[in-house]
């Protein structure tokens, strides 16, 4: 049986067993066919592959500039294929064992300028309960860098009105205290005084931010609210709640915050997660050097 026939048989079988999408099957098919074509130059079949063959193929991909994400995808396809071959007793040893996937660098977060943020935060109409709520949510999100799930889950008793901090329950039920800033605190107080009761519709509920039905807001609802205000502000690029979290981190670094402090504020358990922002710190240092150093 030829490599092409084996690949098609494999794709048909896992489609029947696992109901994978057409896109996933197309990825498997493409990755395996390209591997088969490379093997053919050495007169090797897919079922005769050794671990060395795969390592050589990975080295060849690196030489030709393939990125780590596509290489990781190939390895995922190869592992799936050779496990299938093992299960069907076509081969006796999985050649993908003990081969590590390449580390995939997280994408550099896209941020927006402080001017754009100011423009966005001015959009909600403060004459309506929903406008007061949205203003408070946007200000808190940008002021504290909360995750969207943390934001919509905030309860009134988590707000330290006197101290100007919010007690956030993050991933793994880990708690952290995050400063809010006076603007965010004022927006929250305005919402509580003049908007929240109308949205609550007589219900007693602990969650701070309520939908127009008197319930906890959903992630999707708030995402749509941000998109609505972004359109009003004339943004020509996509924006999401996560964009404001990135803006919070980026703007803090631009104004001199260090990564360890940022890690605590964002609720990252590992500093390496926060280090995706190091490019911001480097650019800040370059600007300072260029501006202030006599040889800049």
CA dist., res. 154 & res. 278, Å (int):
29
Return the number of other C-beta atoms located less than 10 Å from residue 121's C-beta: 21
Beta-bridge partners for 169 = 175
Query: Kind and range of the H or E element at 39?
Result: helix 22-40
CA dist., res. 102 & res. 89, Å (int):
29
Beta-bridge partners for 165 = 160, 179
* Residue among 175, 176, 190 nearest 138 (CA): 190
CA dist., res. 294 & res. 296, Å (int):
6
Active site residue 28: no
Active site residue 277: yes
CA dist., res. 111 & res. 248, Å (int):
9
Active site residue 147: yes
CA dist., res. 184 & res. 136, Å (int):
6
CA dist., res. 3 & res. 283, Å (int):
50
Which residue among the candidates 82, 142, 191, 277 is catalytic per the annotation?
Answer: 277
By the 8 A CB rule, do 264 and 168 touch?
A: no
Which residue among the candidates 110, 171, 193, 201 is catalytic per the annotation?
Answer: 171
Which residue among the candidates 80, 133, 147, 196 is catalytic per the annotation?
Answer: 147
CA dist., res. 208 & res. 188, Å (int):
9
Which residue among the candidates 80, 133, 225, 245 is catalytic per the annotation?
Answer: 245
**Where does residue 290 rank: exposed (0-12), middle (13-18), buried (19+ CB within 10 A)?**
exposed
Q: Which residues contact 280 (CB under 8 A, 6 or more apart)?
A: 111, 249, 250, 253, 254
Active site residue 242: yes
Query: Kind and range of the H or E element at 226?
Result: helix 219-232
Active site residues: 147, 171, 242, 245, 268, 277
């Amino acid at each position: 049986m030829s490599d092409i026939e084996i690949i098609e048989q494999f794709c048909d079988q896992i489609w029947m067993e696992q109901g994978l999408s057409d896109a996933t099957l197309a990825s498997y098919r493409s990755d395996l066919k390209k591997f088969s074509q490379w093997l053919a130059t050495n007169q090797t079949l897919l079922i005769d592959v050794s671990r060395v063959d795969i390592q050589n193929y990975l080295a060849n991909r690196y030489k030709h500039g393939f990125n780590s994400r596509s290489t990781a995808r190939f390895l995922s396809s190869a592992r799936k294929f050779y496990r299938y071959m093992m299960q069907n007793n076509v081969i006796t040893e999985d050649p993908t064992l003990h081969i590590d996937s390449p580390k995939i660098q997280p994408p550099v977060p896209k941020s927006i300028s402080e001017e754009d943020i100011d423009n966005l935060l001015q959009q909600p109409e403060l004459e309506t309960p929903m406008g007061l709520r949205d203003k408070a949510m946007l200000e808190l999100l940008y002021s504290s860098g909360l995750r969207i799930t943390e934001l919509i889950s905030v309860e009134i008793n988590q707000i330290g009105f006197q101290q100007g901090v919010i007690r956030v329950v993050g991933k793994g039920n880990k708690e952290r205290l995050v400063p809010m800033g006076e603007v965010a605190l004022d927006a929250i107080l305005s919402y509580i005084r003049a908007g929240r009761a109308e949205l609550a519709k007589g219900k007693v509920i602990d969650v701070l931010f309520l939908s127009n039905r008197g319930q906890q807001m959903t992630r999707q609802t708030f995402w749509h609210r941000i998109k609505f205000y972004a359109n009003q502000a004339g943004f020509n690029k996509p924006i999401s709640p996560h964009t404001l979290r990135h803006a919070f981190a980026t703007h803090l670094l631009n104004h001199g915050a260090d990564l360890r402090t940022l890690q605590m504020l964002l609720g990252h358990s590992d500093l390496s997660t926060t280090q995706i922002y190091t490019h911001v710190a480097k650019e800040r240092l370059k600007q300072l050097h260029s501006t202030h150093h006599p040889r800049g």
